[in-house]
Amino acid sequence: MICNLCPRKCNAQRFLNTASGYCKCNSEMKVARIAPHLWEEPCISGKNGCGAVFFSGCTLKCVYCQNFEISHENNGKYITPLALSEKLKELENSGVHTIEFVSATQYVDKLIETLDIYKPNVPLIYNSSGFEDVTTLKNLDGYIDVYLPDFKYSDDTLAKRLSKCDNYTAIATNAISEMVRQCPSVSIDNNGIIEKGVIVRHLVLPSHTKNSIGVLNIIKEKFSDNVLLSLMGQYIPHGKSSDYPDIDRKITKREYQKVLDHLITLELDGFAQDLKSADKSYIPSWDY
């Protein structure tokens, strides 16, 4: 398998025993956790939770990633599409409101194979870094009900330093445009659970409120009529953040309030996290 699924276009040779390319994933699908997850946006988790499938590896690998052990170190267990389809049935039967695929970009072909075997009858969510190739996203058209992308950076210099990627802002803008094309409006059922649409997340980073304000401005200009915005204050130093003094701390109340005030000024619809969520207890247990 020669892989160009993400914007890095590695031309990586991904075979059974070969893990090349930026994500260091081979041709087999690998997961770190499959379980109900209670801590997503209210319209995703509801009362019974979201069935979350956390995939191992990542195409972005932010230095501060809260899932560092699986995104950078690729910890997890291999699983076939058939086996994953059975796990999706189990999640669905457990009563979760939605099922979420977290950081699945490097396995999109295997994910599609899985959903061709069995597609659950609950909304399916594609949780993404926002660093996506439009062609890859088009292959998901008809499989995914809700897109949940991050929009991390309006500052490409910051993106280069913290996520080792070029042109993040344009790439994420184009990716979200494709997601909106597929899911042009948000639909929520009578129980408050999302059925269709796009929710754009933004994590506020310490020392970089200008970056956050820039992100909110782009969302307002490009997508405000079509998406919900989820402002996140859960940042805690993790991964390699100790190597970067500007992000080696939690965000302050003043920083978060500054960004929140701008969100209110722009009249963006969506969600805003409580700063109490900036706690390690909210990082999932990687039981593999």
| pLDDT at 279 exceeding the cut of 70 | no
Q: In this model, does residue 273 exceed pLDDT 70? A: yes
Distance between CA atoms of 102 and 125, rounded to whole angstroms? 8
Q: What is the pLDDT of residue 136?
A: 98
HSE (CB half, 13 Å, CA atoms) of 111?
28
> What predicted TM-score, i.e. pTM, was given to this entire model?
0.95
Tell me how far apart the terminal alpha carbons of the chain are, to the nearest angstrom.
25
pLDDT digits (tens, 9 = 90+) for 103-142: 999 999 999 999 999 999 999 999 999 999 999 999 999 9
Domains of the chain: 28-282 (3.20.20.70)
| pLDDT in the model for residue 79 | 97
Strands (E), the chain: 2-3, 12-13, 30-37, 50-55, 77-78, 98-102, 124-128, 146-149, 187-188, 194-203, 227-232, 270-272
- pLDDT above 90: residue 263: yes
- How high is the pLDDT of residue 120? 98
- Model confidence at 89, pLDDT cuts 50, 70, 90, reads very high
How many other C-beta atoms are found inside a 10 Å radius of the C-beta of residue 34?
Answer: 21
pLDDT at residue 258 above 70? yes
Interval 189-248: pLDDT, tens:
999 999 999 999 999 999 999 999 999 999 999 999 999 999 999 999 999 999 999 999
What pLDDT, in 10s, does the model give residues 39-76?
899 999 999 999 999 999 999 999 999 999 999 999 99
Q: Residue 281 pLDDT more than 60?
A: no
Q: Assess whether pLDDT exceeds 90 at residue 181.
A: yes
- Which pLDDT score, from 0 to 100, does residue 280 have? 61
**Any residues with CB less than 8 A from the CB of 166 and at least 6 apart, and which?**
156, 159, 160
